[in-house]
Structure 1
Amino acid sequence: MGYIMDLRKVVGHRPLIMTCAGVLIINEENQILLQKRKDNGQWARTW
């Protein structure tokens, strides 16, 4: 989040174009790979 806050200090409230990519990993048993977040301890998709 620090990157966005630093960018906002420079550009103010003007629109930002942000990109992202994601992948959903499913194994042979149709289980989805999740990761445990450090910030809130919740399980989330891996993107």
Structure 2
Amino acid sequence: MSRSPSPRRIGITTTPSSSLVRSLGGEVRVLEYLPDRSATAIIGRMRSLP
């Protein structure tokens, strides 16, 4: 079974907008995946609220 690389081994240039973020003085960090914590999942749960 193959493990995904740790965030320290992933280069910040692997994200499409990392150069833009850095040029504006921001910082890019790649975090590990957390099930059910994606923006899509959170928005989906919000939409299902009464």
For the aligned pair, the TM-score class normalised by the smaller chain equals: under 0.3
Structure that is richer in strand per residue:
1
Question: Normalised by the size of structure 2, how large is the TM-score?
Answer: 0.24
Q: Name the TM-score, length of structure 1 as normaliser.
A: 0.25
